[in-house]
Amino acid sequence: MMPFIDADEIWDYINNARPDRARVREIINKAINKHRLNLEETAILVNTTDPELIEEIKEGARLLKEKVYGNRIVLFAPLYVGNKCVNNCTYCGFRVSNKETERITLTPDELVKEVEALEDNGQKRLILVFGEHHAYSPQFIADAVRRVYTVKKGNGEIRRVNINAAPLDIEGFKVIKEAGIGTFQVFQETYHPEEYKNYHPGGPKRDFNYRLTSLDRAQEAGLDDVGIGALFGLYDWRFEVLSLVRHTNHLEACYNVGPHTISFPRLQHASKLNLNGQYMVNDDDFTKIVAILRLAVPYTGLILTARENAKVRKEVMRYGVSQIDGGTKIELGSYAASKPKNSQNLNREQFLINDSRSLGEVINELLDDGYLPSFCTACYRQGRTGEHFMEFSVPGFIKRYCTPNAILTLAEYLEDYATEEIKQKGWKVIDKNIKTLDETKVADLLNRIELVKQGKRDLYY
């Protein structure tokens, strides 16, 4: 569990990378053939500035996504459980020094109401978010997870609960693992040690190395499904991209399994925060970041959140994104409160979200754009995580397993929650995707779809 980020090493890769057309195209071709990129190759892509080559990078990412994931997009929703925090991160609305923030922790009954509201909209996958505070102990988080799993309303149920919370020790990770969580996310925010200190002047989060090695402790605890991320806008984006790849390499080298997901949120407005940093990432570079990450780590899920507006999300999704949130509300207690869609109170939220569309609206656009919306959770309940997941994903089986499961979960959504317009579009998309499957699978899948129409739920391969 020693620190594995060497800032000088990463800058050496960036400073010495010399892109030329032949080399860039060689690297793109390597990635399209589903081979991981090393740091030197990734550095060449991040240093590429030729517009024509950048378009080739994006096209390569699009082709690779189609090869590995097909047209499937997995949907989830964030649910903030508590915003008490002892840290003083300068970019966060929940920082302890912000006296304008309303400190809230959902009661058990309030948590149930939030989950019921999410189920009423058709959600099946959640990520629970907690501030870093002694009140949110591993046992508290585990109890919240178990409570979420008990909530059933109509045909609604939450089948997968992920966690975004403070780094834990090994025993803490064991407690949470026993609650049946999916992925545990810890974002390093910035991987540059010196800049990290500037952004974290107080609180336990100030310890760069403890946060950096947190997911090593998760692995030691037997929790092999983890997610990493960086907050783009805190430091040079090229450095952060290489560091994310370095983190992936580290986990694979030490534990034979990389992160299940990588997140790449951009810094957004928050309570009592003015955005004027020199490292803010524009839309063009953001699109390039996503495409490079897809090429660098072919089998790792890429998560795009509602921090981005609908236009940016529509564009960036083409280049490698595999998961997005929909119907997102991050004000504590806001799902059950049924507040107006565009109403946001930054004193009760961590940051500003820019895509406030409902889940139905997001699904409607996905269908229009030819995507296959999915709420699938099969791999996690079948034990296809960690090394087992890599066994399935590395040879390219994700598309083969996930497309039928995505179809079944979309069929559930269409039958239980969709408007008539979305329902008609959804069944057309399902029919189109069935035609792409191996004929040996189609008869059984059609039978299961009929069972869904008859009221059977939670069918999966």
Q: What's the CATH number where 161 sits?
A: 3.20.20.70
What pLDDT score does 397 carry?
64
Note whether 268 and 289 are same-domain residues. yes
Q: Is 435 exposed, middle or buried (0-12, 13-18, 19+ CB in 10 A)?
A: exposed
What pLDDT score does 127 carry?
98
What pLDDT score does 438 carry?
83
Amino acid at 445: L
Tell me the HSE value of 287 on the side-chain side, using a 13 A CA sphere: 20
Pairing state between β 156-157 and 152-153: antiparallel
Per-residue pLDDT of the chain (461 residues; tens, 9 = 90+): 688 999 999 999 999 999 999 999 999 999 999 999 999 999 999 999 999 999 999 999 999 999 888 899 999 999 999 999 999 999 999 999 999 999 999 999 999 999 999 999 999 999 999 999 999 999 999 999 999 999 999 999 999 999 999 999 999 999 999 999 999 999 999 999 999 999 999 999 999 999 999 999 999 999 999 999 999 999 999 999 999 999 999 999 999 999 999 999 999 988 777 667 789 999 999 999 999 999 999 989 999 999 999 999 999 999 999 999 999 999 999 999 976 666 788 888 898 899 999 999 999 999 999 999 999 998 777 776 665 565 666 665 666 678 999 999 999 999 999 999 999 999 999 999 999 888 888 999 999 999 999 999 999 98
Question: Rounded to an integer, what distance in angstroms lies between the CA atom of residue 343 and that of residue 345?
Answer: 7
Question: Rounded to an integer, what distance in angstroms lies between the CA atom of residue 156 and that of residue 120?
Answer: 7
- 105-111 contacts, C-beta under 8 A, 24 or more apart: 105/81, 105/135, 105/136, 106/81, 106/82, 106/332, 106/333, 108/147, 110/333, 110/336, 111/81, 111/144, 111/147, 111/148
User: Does 1 reside within a domain?
Assistant: no
Q: Which of 65, 86, 103 is the last residue of a domain?
A: 65
* HEC letters along 337-397: HCCCCCCCCHHHCCCCCCCCCCHHHHHHHHHHCCCEEECCCHHHHCCCCHHHHHHHHCCCC
Note whether 439 and 373 are same-domain residues. no
What pLDDT score does 387 carry?
58
Question: Rounded to an integer, what distance in angstroms lies between the CA atom of residue 400 and that of residue 230?
Answer: 30
Note whether 82 and 169 are same-domain residues. yes
User: Does 356 reside within a domain?
Assistant: yes
Question: Rounded to an integer, what distance in angstroms lies between the CA atom of residue 251 and that of residue 245?
Answer: 10
User: Does 323 reside within a domain?
Assistant: yes
Coil, strand, or helix at residue 80? Answer: strand
Question: Rounded to an integer, what distance in angstroms lies between the CA atom of residue 169 and that of residue 185?
Answer: 14
Note whether 181 and 148 are same-domain residues. yes
Question: Rounded to an integer, what distance in angstroms lies between the CA atom of residue 342 and that of residue 353?
Answer: 10
Note whether 361 and 447 are same-domain residues. no
Note whether 371 and 226 are same-domain residues. yes
Note whether 291 and 315 are same-domain residues. yes
Amino acid at 212: L
Residues 6+ positions from 31 with CB-CB distance below 8 Å: 37, 60, 61, 64, 294, 295, 296, 298
Q: Other C-beta atoms within 10 Å of 137: how many?
A: 14
User: Does 458 reside within a domain?
Assistant: no
CA distances from 166 to 173, 184, 186, 267 (A): 11, 10, 7, 19
Note whether 343 and 374 are same-domain residues. yes
Domains in the chain, number: 3
What pLDDT score does 271 carry?
79
Question: Rounded to an integer, what distance in angstroms lies between the CA atom of residue 206 and that of residue 209?
Answer: 9
Nearest Cα to Cα of residue 431 among 410, 459, 416, 455: 410
Note whether 396 and 335 are same-domain residues. no
User: Does 299 reside within a domain?
Assistant: yes
Model confidence pLDDT, tens digit, residues 123-162: 999 999 999 999 999 999 999 999 999 999 999 999 999 9
Question: Which residue range forms the structural domain that includes residue 37?
Answer: 7-65
Q: Which of 49, 65, 81 is the last residue of a domain?
A: 65
Question: Rounded to an integer, what distance in angstroms lies between the CA atom of residue 422 and that of residue 426?
Answer: 6
Q: Say if CB 313 and CB 355 are below 8 A apart.
A: yes
Note whether 343 and 401 are same-domain residues. no
What pLDDT score does 374 carry?
97
Helix ranges, 17-79 (H): 21-32, 39-46, 51-69
**CA dihedral sign of residues 240, 244, 250, 251:** positive
Amino acid at 1: M
Question: Rounded to an integer, what distance in angstroms lies between the CA atom of residue 185 and that of residue 162?
Answer: 8
Note whether 151 and 295 are same-domain residues. yes
Tell me the HSE value of 279 on the side-chain side, using a 13 A CA sphere: 17
Q: Which of 382, 412, 442 is the last residue of a domain?
A: 382
Across-strand partners of 188? Answer: none
Q: Which two tokens stand for residue 14?
A: 């960036």
User: Does 367 reside within a domain?
Assistant: yes
Q: Which two tokens stand for residue 387?
A: 């090394």
Q: Which two tokens stand for residue 371?
A: 């995507």
Note whether 335 and 322 are same-domain residues. yes
User: Does 426 reside within a domain?
Assistant: yes
User: Does 2 reside within a domain?
Assistant: no
**CA dihedral sign of residues 62, 67, 72, 76:** negative
Helices 420-434 and 359-368 pack at an angle, to 10 degrees, of: 40
Give φ, ψ of 230 to 5 degrees.
-135, 150
Model confidence pLDDT, tens digit, residues 44-81: 999 999 999 999 999 999 999 998 888 999 999 999 99
